[in-house]
Amino acid sequence: MKILSLNFYHFIKTKIVVLFLVSNFTLIAQADFKLLKNANNGKVKFELANNLIIIPVLLNGVELSFILDTGVGSTIIFSVDNKASLELKNASKIYLKGLGEGEPVEAIKSLGNELKIGDAISSDHTVYLVFDESINFSPRMGFPVHGIIGYDFFKKFILDINYTKKNIKINSPKSYVYKKCKKCYKTKIDFRDRNKKPYVTAKYKSEKGLIDINLLLDSGSGSSLWLFENKDLGIDVPDNSFRDFLGKGFNGDIYGRRTKIDELYIGNFAMRNVTTSFPDSIYIQGIPIHKRQGSLGGNVLRRFNLIVDYPNKNISFKKNSFFDKPFNYNMSGLTIQHSGFIASFGYNEKDRVYLSLNRVESKKTLELLNNFVLQPKYEISDIRPGSPADVIGLQVGDVILQVNGKKIHKYKLSALNDLFYFDEGKRIKMKIDRLGVEIEYEFYLKKVL
């Protein structure tokens, strides 16, 4: 049995997992992605959920949903429960050794797979199937998410990522011509960690004034910004902060401080009162903080339409309609997850809402018989102490039936979560089921900071 030593580290933040994979071994050469029929460009639609890009992927003919993550080096599958027909080619069992003292994790390394994304295809692709039940995006996303892909897809194309239209134009570097854009900020990408990890420079307003900070470009994080304390650079946690559970690490929970920083600049684009997490120093041991000061996540990136050009080491930012949205923490205190289905009768065609990118399995409401259906079950999985939801008595395990008079199955989970991030003072009426008893609650959204 082969054991591979990896710097394999992931954060499960309050809403989503962030998975960093930095290989300490040389991957077997594999066929790169190419556009079909030698085309110059193509396109793929995506879902935007919890600030993350979810793309449809065909793996050996089976349709899956992957997170598109600039912060990951290899293609990883971590959930295939509902894909029993998926076959991985040339598979061998390995063990992945993570940071810390934890035991190696069982995994499968598979060679020679066909992977298709939109109009791009890789005919000899290496994937890793990780057997770790704690790595499961799907409950917090509200639809199946099976894996994650980054560098393998980015490295051969110039990708025009439009967060407002929710599509990605896939361009061949040989034929791509940059358009003149006076309102864009174009800068270089610095690649590190075996040239797979992209870093960009931003400006942070510290006690020493505006300073340059090097940030991992991390589209696989739903957060805005992670910063690492650095006294020499003046990067300190502001007094106005609160201690919180930041996520679940490969070998345990991660804690730190949540706050807002006054100003963050990308080029001349100024963002103010940016939600920021400072993990405790114990969790970032091994990261050279003199070279890297943090990570730039999806809640910042979604405020721009991006041109990500790995071949030429460039990235271009252009403000979009999300740019002026305020940065807020969850003002309800609730974390909600999809936790299965509830059987019900009286099916109505109008009750259908969509679950995933898979056409065959795309109905959240699944018709079993003429009048017997399964509807999504949304459950409270965490409540922040002292929050409005906590004060009125909502509890972990409560099953949500209605929100503001609307039946819960008519919400996408991402849309439901969005209700809690804007409009301070907004009234939220919620009907829940607690051990078979229906109870109604009412509370008002309140800012944490």
pLDDT digits (tens, 9 = 90+) for 136-166: 666 666 667 888 999 999 999 999 999 999 9
Torsion of CA 243, 247, 249, 252, to 10 degrees: 60
User: What is the per-residue pLDDT across 152-202, written as a single tens digit (0 to 9) for each?
Assistant: 999 999 999 999 999 999 999 999 999 999 999 999 999 987 778 999 999
Residue 431's DSSP bridge partners are: 402, 440
pLDDT for the residue 89: 87
pLDDT for the residue 369: 44
In which element (H, E) is residue 162 found?
Answer: strand 158-162
Placement of tokens 């995933």 in the chain = 356
d(CA 53, CA 232) in angstroms, rounded, equals 35
Asked if pLDDT for residue 107 goes beyond 50, the answer is yes
User: What is the per-residue pLDDT across 306-356, written as a single tens digit (0 to 9) for each?
Assistant: 999 999 999 999 999 999 999 999 999 998 888 877 766 554 544 444 334
pLDDT for the residue 136: 64
pLDDT for the residue 23: 34
User: What is the per-residue pLDDT across 50-80, written as a single tens digit (0 to 9) for each?
Assistant: 899 999 999 999 999 999 999 888 898 886 6
Going by C-beta distance under 8 Å and a sequence separation of 6 or more, which residues neighbour residue 260?
Answer: 238, 240, 273, 274, 275, 276, 327, 449
Q: Mean pLDDT across the chain, nearest whole number?
A: 82
Residue type, 360: V
25-39, 71-85, 236-250, 396-410: segment of lowest average pLDDT = 25-39
Enter the DSSP assignment of 414: H
Asked if pLDDT for residue 282 goes beyond 60, the answer is yes
pLDDT for the residue 313: 96
pLDDT for the residue 207: 81
CA-CA-CA-CA torsion sign (19, 133, 362, 416): negative
User: What is the per-residue pLDDT across 367-392, written as a single tens digit (0 to 9) for each?
Assistant: 444 455 667 889 998 898 999 999 99
**pTM of the predicted structure, to 2 decimals:** 0.83
d(CA 124, CA 303) in angstroms, rounded, equals 35
Give the pairing type, strands 269-279 and 252-266. Answer: antiparallel
Enter the DSSP assignment of 329: -
Q: How many CA atoms lie within 13 A of 62 on its CB side?
A: 16
pLDDT for the residue 56: 96
Torsion of CA 288, 292, 294, 298, to 10 degrees: -130
